[in-house]
Amino acid sequence: MARHPLLTPKWLVGHALALVVVVSFTQFGFWQLRRHEQRAERNAVAEARLAAAPVPLDDALAAALAEVAAGAAPRDAFHARRVEVSGAFEPADELLRRPVSRDGAPGYHVVTPLALADDPQGRRLWVERGWVPQELNVVPAEDAPPPAGAVELIGWLRAPDVPPTGWVAALAPRDPAEGRLSMVAYVDVERLAGQVDGPTVPAVLLLEAATPPSPTTLPLAPEAPLLGLGSHLGYAIQWFAFTAITLIGYPALLRRVRRESRAG
């Protein structure tokens, strides 16, 4: 008795491959849906933080570090927390973060340490004061100075940058491992600790407002933290569409092969 044409070794491998494709594409789709839901939840938390009144720096730090200790990613734990802090800028130790574009123009963010007022530890907080064009590539940024003397700041916290490791590091920009830096790709608080007098706060502040304000129009204030949902939902739809194509196309192929076999 002749073997059924769809039960030959070649077609059994095809059936197994089709099953793997359907299961894999479905899992990829649900994975992207979970990523979309996680992003939506993160945005809801960030929106609440952005709408809240600023809190003292140490209160925000304690809350963020508690979330990190509980297993949260530092990026999420620190993201968009509005804080208020006072101190004095130290422009002699400022640096430039690259690359930062603004309205299509290349440039940098000026990052200046702030000596915290009345702080028994003498801590410094790295403050991203805002954007300057590419031609202002020397620090201290004389055309974008910070307010002199005592200042009061309001801004958003973010986690310090952590340079990538592994094979990704070969494709990403790098900062020298040693020596004093004036231009960086990452505001890596641990790497920059030796460039200021005193310990550093384990966070970075995106400046929202300063009192007194900057004496010049530059730097342009940093943009508020982004709350986009990303492309996860679109990717999920694509994966489910691929699954549907397989579920429709492969049985159609099998029916055609079966008809041709019967006709033969």
Q: What pLDDT is stored for residue 200 in this prediction? A: 95
Model pLDDT, residue 257: 81
* Torsion sign across C-alpha atoms 248, 254, 257, 261: negative
Global pTM value:
0.79
Span of 62-76, 154-168, 218-232, 241-255 with lowest mean pLDDT = 218-232
AA letter at 249: G
- The rounded distance, in Å, linking the Cα atoms of 156 and 224 is 8
Instruction: Please provide the average confidence, as pLDDT, over all residues in the chain.
Output: 90
Task: Single out the residue of 39, 20, 75, 43 nearest to residue 236, CA to CA.
Answer: 39
Q: Each residue of 139-183: pLDDT tens digit?
A: 999 899 999 999 999 999 999 999 888 877 778 888 998 999 999
Element (H, E) at 111: strand 107-116
Mean pLDDT, residues 89-103 taken together: 94
| Mean pLDDT value across residues 74-102 | 94
Residue at 182: amino acid letter: S
* Tens digit of each residue's pLDDT (9 = 90 or more) over 201-232: 999 999 999 999 988 999 999 887 766 667 88
Rounded Cα distance, 261 and 264, in Å = 5
